[in-house]
Amino acid sequence: MPYDILITNAVVLPLADATTDTIAPGYVAIQGDSIAALGSMTELPADTKAHATIDGSGMLAMPGLINTHNHAAMTLFRGLADDLQLMEWLTKHIFPAEARFVNPEMVYWCSKLAAAEMIRSGTTCVADGYFHEDAAAEAFCDAGLRAVAAQGLIDFPAPGVPDPADNVAAAGRFLDRWQGRHPLLTPALFCHSPYTCGPTTITAGKALARERGVPFFIHLAESRDEIRQITTPHGETPTRHLHKLGILDPATVCVHCVWLDETDQQLLATSGAGVAACPGSNMKLASGIAPLAGLVRRGVAVGLGTDGCASNNNLDLFAEMDLAAKLQKVHALDPTVLPARRLLAMATGDGARVLGMADRIGSLTPGKKADCILIDLRQPGLSPCYSPDLLVYAAGGRDVRTVIINGRVVLRDRELLAFDQQEAMDRVNRLALKVRAPT
């Protein structure tokens, strides 16, 4: 039986872990939605046939990137409120804008625009958390992007949930609609933070997530203000607060984790909770530098996220790899901290671990889902390429040539195939006219 897709003559980086070597020249064979085989071209039988063959000469084939934290619909607010502290940015600009403009139409088109940006920069799976998340889930499925879509929980009136008393029940109805509905979509829950969600909401949300067997996301220890807001009323750090509530376990993803002391880091390691690090957003909001090297040393699963592009302002995970690596080195004054291959793992296999999907995605391994990207090494900025480590420090989303998700080609020669990118841009720009209009 011929393969559905056969990639030939590429530099293949399977990246099962940070020590994986390349295969060059190599091939990747795809059958249906899964990786069927890979190896050296010398091992590929001459009579191998495929319905579609992609010549990977001059390219590197690797697992698709995994964005472990995003608020995709916030493309509408890209550049709306720059150069501000986190709490001022949130309370004076973002929360009011969301109250005025967030509705299902906005979430659908703005999430679809985000999907275009992510696919074009090599992301094949995103963990998203927002309101009206049904619309985001529809957008991701229509775009052909794998997603963990989490309905937001917050203790004040929110888009789609005007009565905070209904927030957990509304999240339950979201899970009812999406569990098992689409092969690309995993539903989840997202508690905004310990300073916007009280213990009752956090524990009820986590109980629902455990009952349904879905991931649970929460912003944690993002800023010094949060440390003060939680420590004063509760008498412990935000991390110890969640630990006391019984929230931390392998199905919990803690986002940001900038302000962690040694005890906090050990609690995360012992609990098995994952961390979604967002260095670009943390830099832009001057929140600080997350202790990623310490977390990795303790065995914590750490993935990379862009956060929403209102606080970044782009969704390019190659940029996040570069920022994460360099921030850790300058913070430790040690150039050997978090080497490039570790960052490549964090953006792929480690991100899959964070999301509880390491058995399905994150590496080019026979039997796993066929989420694969081809990077064009025939670019001035990538020449010469002595090793894949160069991708961390020199590559960008612009160098991604082809993207395959679940065995389907969704980007070919830089052209999106699954949907009309221009339509999404036009729709979002029309929505932006309302944002720009004087109140």
What does DSSP assign to residue 161? B
> Can you tell me the mean pLDDT for 21-32?
97
CA pair distance 87, 81, nearest whole angstrom: 12
419 Cβ contact list (under 8 Å, min separation 6): 112, 116, 142, 143, 144
pTM, full prediction: 0.97
Judged against a pLDDT cut of 70, whether residue 435 lies above it is answered with yes
CA distance 47 to 267: 54
51 and 101 part of one domain: no
Distance CA 336, CA 139 (A): 41
What is the model's pLDDT at position 371?
98
Helical ranges in 315-389 per DSSP H: 317-332, 340-346, 349-354
Mean pLDDT over residues 198-208, rounded?
98
Is 421 domain-assigned? Answer: no
Strands (E), 138-193: 146-153, 185-191
High-pLDDT (> 70) share of the chain, %? 99
For 109-151, give the DSSP string: HHHHHHHHHHHHTTEEEEEEEESSHHHHHHHHHHHT-EEEEEE
Residue 16 predicted with pLDDT over 80: no
Same structural domain for residues 294 and 406? no
| Residue 293 and residue 377 in one domain | no
Task: Name the token pair of 115.
Answer: 């999907």
Stretch 109-132: mean pLDDT: 98
pLDDT at 393: 97
The verdict on 267 and 376 lying in the same domain is: no
- The answer as to whether 422 is a domain residue is no
Q: Amino acid letter at 91?
A: T
Same-domain pairing of 54 and 118: no
Range with lowest mean pLDDT among 32-46, 221-235, 414-428: 221-235
Residues present in the chain in total: 439
Residue whose structure tokens are 């600080």: 288
Kindly state whether residues 323 and 403 are assigned to the same domain. no
Percentage above 90 pLDDT, the chain: 88
- Spatial neighbors of 68 by CB under 8 A, at least 6 apart, are 127, 253, 274, 276, 303, 304, 305, 351, 354, 355
Asked if residue 392 is part of any domain, the answer here is yes
Domain check: are 58 and 69 in the same one? no
Average pLDDT, whole number, for the chain? 95
Q: How far, in whole angstroms, is CA 439 from its chain's centroid? A: 34
Those residues whose C-beta lies under 8 Å from the C-beta of residue 193, and which sit 6 or more positions away, are 218, 219, 220, 222, 226
Query: In the predicted model, is pLDDT for residue 168 greater than 80?
Result: yes
For 122, counting Cβ atoms within 10 Å of its Cβ (0-12 exposed, 13-18 middle, 19+ buried), the class is: buried
Residues 330 and 404 both lie in one domain = no
Q: Round to whole Å and give the CA distance between 233 and 243.
A: 16
Structural domain total, the chain: 2
Residue 438 located in a structural domain? no
Distance CA 390, CA 301 (A): 23
Q: How far is CA 344 from CA 65, 122, 322, in A?
A: 9, 12, 10
Examine the fold and report which residue of 354, 384, 404 is the final residue of a domain before the chain moves on.
Answer: 354
Are residues 105 and 167 located together in one domain of the fold? yes
Q: What is the mean pLDDT of residues 247-254?
A: 98
Let me know if residue 439 belongs to a domain. no
Res 190 pLDDT > 80: yes
Helix, strand, coil percent values for the chain (each to nearest 5):
40, 25, 35
Q: Are residues 277 and 172 in the same domain?
A: yes
pLDDT of 80 above 90? no
Does residue 20 surpass a pLDDT of 90? no
Assess whether pLDDT exceeds 90 at residue 84: no
Q: Which of these three, 328, 354, 380, is where a domain ends? A: 354
Q: Which residues pair with 376 in a beta bridge?
A: 59
pLDDT of residue 439: 58
Any domain includes 139: yes
- Report if residue 192 sits inside a domain: yes
Rounded Cα distance, 351 and 14, in Å: 15
Backbone phi, psi, residue 298, to 5°: -85, 0
Sheet holding 252-256, edge to edge: 65-70, 123-130, 146-153, 185-191, 216-220, 252-256, 274-277, 302-304
d(CA 122, CA 388): 15
Residues 26, 58 share a domain = yes
Which residue carries 């909401």 as its tokens?
A: 201
What pLDDT does residue 234 have?
78
**398 occurs within a structural domain:** yes
What's the CATH number where 74 sits? 3.20.20.140
Q: How far apart are CA 378 and CA 128, in angstroms?
A: 33
* 20 or 117, greater pLDDT: 117
pLDDT at 250 (0 to 100)? 98
73/79 Cα distance (integer angstroms) = 14
Say yes or no: 161 and 74 in one domain.
yes
pLDDT in tens, 263-320: 999 999 999 999 999 999 999 999 999 999 999 999 999 999 999 998 899 999 999 9
CATH number of the domain to which 9 belongs: 2.30.40.10
The average pLDDT across 405-412 equals 98
Rounded Cα gap, residues 311 and 79, in angstroms: 8
pLDDT tens-digit readout, 336-363:
999 999 999 999 999 999 999 999 999 9
Domain that holds residue 403: 3-63+371-416
